């Protein structure tokens, strides 16, 4: 009896995590306006086709996601349009499309499209695609999810004199300009490249740096870490434990729920390994 209750509890936790992954991922989405105004079918079709109005396209995508979550099967008529948006020239549209496709884990079209989006040049698109694939019980984005937990160095794109533009601890988006390098052909900006927090400066302000040299460190945000840990609860491997363990001990400036989730994830990975 106790064993059966334990199995039932584990499956309940899995369902809850999959549900959370389906509704919390919008953290990675560019929301500059409210998308709650209902759209007609004609508006939905028109908004999905307009290339020069990204907010309207995102409005339609957000509405479709809400209807998928509510169990509305009629939105499947727009699935080919959503898959087509995976190649949009606007990164924010691709990010949102990846999130929407993660809502219906019964669609083979969405599954295949998300696999292709793991190679997207934009880091947020890759993250959303990897998280979406978890709902298909597909671990193809495992390496990307691990990267969401790992800090990474920010490298100088060219040689020149470094000018720092932000302070340690600042929250960054992919497009945040962290520094400027004065080169022989003029100044160039150094974007963060992915969301996170500036954890440290490696090179001094005004120092001469060479191309490829680490100049700063970028750490994941608490939300990124929490999302990744929940995903690894489902697809994590024993080899991931050394990456997860620092979070289980507690990371400064991260909420206690991150450490709690890390411990739950480690326990689940170990349990799968022993089974």
The answer on 236 and 195 residing in a single domain is no
Quote the CA–CA distance of 22 and 44 in Å, as a whole number: 21
Quote the CA–CA distance of 80 and 100 in Å, as a whole number: 12
The answer on 192 and 106 residing in a single domain is no
What would the pLDDT profile of 115-124 be if each residue is shown by its tens digit? 999 999 988 8
The answer on 204 and 123 residing in a single domain is no
The answer on 258 and 161 residing in a single domain is no
The answer on 192 and 102 residing in a single domain is no
The pTM (predicted TM-score) of the whole model is 0.80
Number of domains in the chain: 2
pLDDT at residue 40 in the model: 85
pLDDT at residue 14 in the model: 63
The answer on 202 and 99 residing in a single domain is no
List, in sequence order, every residue forming a beta bridge with 214; answer none if it has no partner: 155
What would the pLDDT profile of 216-258 be if each residue is shown by its tens digit? 999 999 999 999 999 999 999 999 999 999 999 998 889 999 9
Task: Give the end of a domain, one of 219, 246, 265.
Answer: 219
The answer on 267 and 236 residing in a single domain is yes
Quote the CA–CA distance of 114 and 135 in Å, as a whole number: 11
Quote the CA–CA distance of 167 and 17 in Å, as a whole number: 35
Is residue 250 within 8 A of residue 193, CB to CB? The reply is: no
User: How far out from the chain centre does Cα 228 lie?
Assistant: 8
CATH code for the domain in which residue 193 is found: 2.40.50.100
Concatenating the DSSP letter of every residue in the chain gives -HHHHHHHHHHHHHHHHHHHHHHHGGGGS--SS---S---HHHHHHHHH-SS-HHHHHHHHHHHHHHHHTT-GGGGGGHHHHHHGGG-SSHHHHHHHHHHHTT-TT-HHHHHHHHHHTT-SSHHHHHHHHHHHHTTT--TTHHHHHHHHS-EEEEPSSSEEEEE-S-TT-EE-TT-EEEEEEETTEEEEEE-SSSEEEEEE-SPTT-EE-TT-EEEEEEPPHHHHHHHHHHHHHH--GGGHHHHHHHHH--TTS-HHHHHHHHHHHHHHHHHHH-
Task: Give the end of a domain, one of 219, 235, 252.
Answer: 219
Quote the CA–CA distance of 95 and 135 in Å, as a whole number: 16
The answer on 73 and 7 residing in a single domain is yes
The answer on 163 and 61 residing in a single domain is no
Task: Give the end of a domain, one of 219, 238, 266.
Answer: 219
Q: Which domain holds residue 145?
A: 2-149+223-274
pLDDT at residue 49 in the model: 87
The answer on 200 and 134 residing in a single domain is no
The answer on 262 and 210 residing in a single domain is no
CATH code for the domain in which residue 244 is found: 1.25.10
Identify the segments of the chain with pLDDT beneath 70: 1-36
The answer on 166 and 34 residing in a single domain is no
Q: Is 94 exposed, middle or buried (0-12, 13-18, 19+ CB in 10 A)?
A: buried
pLDDT at residue 10 in the model: 63
């Amino acid at each position: 009896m106790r064993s059966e209750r334990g199995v039932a509890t584990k499956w309940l936790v899995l369902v809850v995590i999959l549900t959370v992954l389906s509704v919390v991922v919008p953290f990675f989405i560019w929301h500059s306006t409210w998308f709650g105004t209902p759209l007609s079918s004609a508006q939905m079709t028109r908004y999905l086709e307009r290339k020069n109005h990204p907010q309207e396209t995102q409005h339609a995508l957000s509405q479709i996601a809400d209807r998928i979550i509510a169990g509305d099967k009629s939105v499947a008529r727009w699935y080919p349009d959503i898959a087509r948006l995976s190649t949009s020239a606007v990164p924010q549209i691709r990010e949102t499309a990846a999130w929407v496709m993660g809502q219906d884990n019964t669609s083979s079209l969405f599954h295949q499209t998300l696999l292709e989006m793991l190679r997207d040049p934009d880091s947020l698109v890759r993250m959303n695609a990897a998280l979406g694939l978890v709902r298909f019980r597909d671990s193809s984005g495992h390496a990307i999810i691990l990267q969401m937990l790992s800090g990474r160095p920010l490298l100088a794109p060219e040689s020149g004199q470094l000018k720092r533009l932000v302070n340690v601890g600042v929250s960054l988006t992919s497009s945040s300009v962290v520094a400027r390098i004065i080169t022989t052909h003029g100044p160039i900006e150094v974007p963060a490249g992915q969301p996170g927090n500036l954890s440290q400066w490696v090179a001094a302000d005004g120092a001469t740096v060479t191309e490829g040299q680490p100049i700063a460190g970028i750490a994941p945000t608490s939300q990124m870490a929490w999302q990744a840990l929940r995903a690894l609860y489902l697809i994590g491997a024993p080899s991931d434990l050394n990456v997860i363990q620092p979070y289980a001990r507690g990371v400064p400036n991260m909420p206690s729920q991150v450490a709690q989730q890390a411990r739950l994830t480690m326990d689940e990975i170990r349990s799968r390994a022993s089974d």
